[in-house]
Amino acid sequence: MTRRHLLAMLSSIGLAPRPASAQATAAAPAIEPLRLSDAAWQQRLSPAQYGVLRHQGTEPAGSSALNDEHRKGRFVCAGCALPLFSSDAKFDSGTGWPSFFSALPGAVMTRTDYILILPRTEYHCARCEGHQGHVFGDGPKPTGKRYCNNGVALTFIPS
Ligand SMILES: [Zn+2]
């Protein structure tokens, strides 16, 4: 059987591969992963950023200037600049960490950690997998979520 015959047969039963352009328009834009060596991350980040983003550290409460950032704009990952949060989702949680009730669609991924014995939901940047913070279920409307973020893991871009 020739390749042409095979494709014609697959096409007749709906299994022919679609042209790449059709797939690209059908699916949501994929986030290109950023994977660097540990040494490269150490060079790229400040010691405080490196400790949080690459080793799940937690900055001291009240230490981030972003707690008092109330301008319109976007908060992007300090590791790879992927936009993670809109200023529209920021609220004052009173915890001492920048807090948001939602992340931008697809921007963060979650996993469960047991660092403090009790399970918590850790979240990280979808592009570089840099740790950002933990998400809790005691946030305000409309989502009821509270993304408790390390300010050092974010960069604010005013709009
Ligand atoms: Zn990132």
Angstrom CA distances, 153 to 19, 52, 53, 96, stand at: 39, 7, 6, 15
| Residue numbers in the chain where pLDDT is lower than 70 | 1-29
pLDDT at residue number 109: 97
CA of 17 to the centre of ligand 1 (A): 33
pLDDT at residue number 156: 98
Which residues line ion ligand 1, judged by CB < 5 Å?
77, 79-80, 82, 125, 127-128, 130
Catalytic residue check, 148: yes
Angstrom CA distances, 118 to 54, 121, 126, 150, stand at: 22, 10, 24, 20
How far does the chain reach from its first CA to its final CA, in angstroms? 59
Strand order in the sheet with 120-125: 90-91, 99-100, 146-149, 131-136, 120-125, 108-113
pLDDT at residue number 19: 46
CA of 128 to the centre of ligand 1 (A): 4
pLDDT at residue number 5: 61
CA of 129 to the centre of ligand 1 (A): 6
Selection from 132, 137, 147, 142 nearest residue 54 by Cα: 132
pLDDT at residue number 66: 98
From the list 77, 125, 128, 148, the catalytic residue is 148
CA of 2 to the centre of ligand 1 (A): 46
Strands 90-91 and 120-125, bridge-based pairing: unpaired
Q: What number of CA atoms fall less than 13 Å from residue 33's CA on the CB side? A: 5
pTM: 0.81
Q: Give the Cα-Cα-Cα angle 111, 85, 112 (nearest 5 degrees).
A: 10
